[in-house]
Amino acid sequence: MASSTMIHVRIDEQVKKEAAQTLETMGLSVSDAVRVFLLRVIADKQMPFALKVPNAETLSAMAEADEIVRAKRARYKTGAELIDDLEKTRVQ
């Protein structure tokens, strides 16, 4: 009989909660998903998804998003909210 071991991972509580809910809809637990992930790493001898370094355009967009958050500039949940705000503030 194979023995098992524990893996302890630190993760943001909200990430864990949302992942667990999503995985539950697939009939999986977080432990099941980690097990599947590790088995894919073994089988493929690589990560089961592409890891890429962000290009200059993506890095610029990420920096811009960080600045928007820091400056607490307007944020919109929908495109309609953005259009409404633009129409209210446009120069006539």
Give yes or no for a contact between 48 and 37, defined as CB atoms under 8 angstroms apart.
yes
Contacts of 33 (CB under 8 A, 6+ apart): 19, 23
Q: How confident is the model at residue 72 (pLDDT cuts 50, 70, 90)?
A: confident
pTM of the complete model: 0.55
65 to each of 53, 57, 68, 79, 83, how far by Cα in Å? 18, 12, 5, 17, 19
**7 has pLDDT over 70:** yes
Structural domains in the chain, CATH included, are: 1-51 (1.10.1220.10), 56-89 (no CATH)
For position 92, what pLDDT does the model report?
Answer: 57
Give yes or no for a contact between 6 and 17, defined as CB atoms under 8 angstroms apart.
no
Q: If you average pLDDT over residues 11-30, what whole number do you get? A: 96
